[in-house]
Amino acid sequence: MTTRTELRFDVSPAAGEVSAILDRPDDARYLYVFAHGAGSDMRHHFMEAAVAALAHQGIATFRYQFPYTERRVRRIDPQPVLLATVRAAAAMARKAAGDLTLLAGGKSMGGRMTSLASSEGSLEGVRGLVFFGFPLHPAGQPGTVRADHLERVAVPTLFLQGTRDALANLELLEPVVARLPRATLHIVDGADHSFAVPKRSGHTLDDTLRGLATFVAQWASGLEHAT
């Protein structure tokens, strides 16, 4: 059984409050601070499906809105506001975690903002970062500038990427990950940036997310034994 709790927390006096949802399965061992992508919000179908898959593997989730999605506007917040939201969410989740191992990350932009905040040493208690589709570059504009900060991330990182991800050319991403001392790259054949796979594969998004959740749980178990 999974218990769901609706929460609110302060980002800053200027940004105000945002909403969050804590989903905690009875057998939880980990709590994942789960930021949404730029074109969605915490209640998007992808987020709901991923939360369900993670819960099945004993991973609780703390997902949250950024101020712009809380206000239901399209214009994304400036980066300082996004980073402040990540920090505030991680602090709130840490209080809720109790004895659970704390992980953080997110989908696309949410994962990148989490990694930027972590690179500044500001996510106390977080043992590892998990990225659902790290956005290495804009679509059609291959490059690696967005990865420059990753070498300053002090905790282990897990990249979950599809071979058809238009925002992460694997020929560019693989060398980036290889240079990081505690990084793991898990590739999903045929998946795009949203982890959709061709119908001919016979797999659904839920199938893919269940596989990813299993891998995340296995990877997280290794953190408990790391020094």
pLDDT along the chain (227 residues), means of 10: 96 95 97 96 98 98 98 96 98 94 98 97 92 97 97 97 97 97 96 93 91 98 72
Domain boundaries, the chain: 2-223
User: CA-CA distances (angstroms) from residue 209 to 10, 175, 204?
Assistant: 31, 25, 9
Pick from 184, 193, 183: nearest CA to 215 = 184
Specify the pLDDT at position 30. Answer: 97
Specify the pLDDT at position 20. Answer: 98
Specify the pLDDT at position 122. Answer: 76
The class level of CATH for 2-223 reads alpha beta
Give the start-end residues of each E strand in 56-164. 59-64, 101-107, 126-132, 157-162
Q: Reduce the DSSP state of residue 206 to 3 states and report it.
A: helix
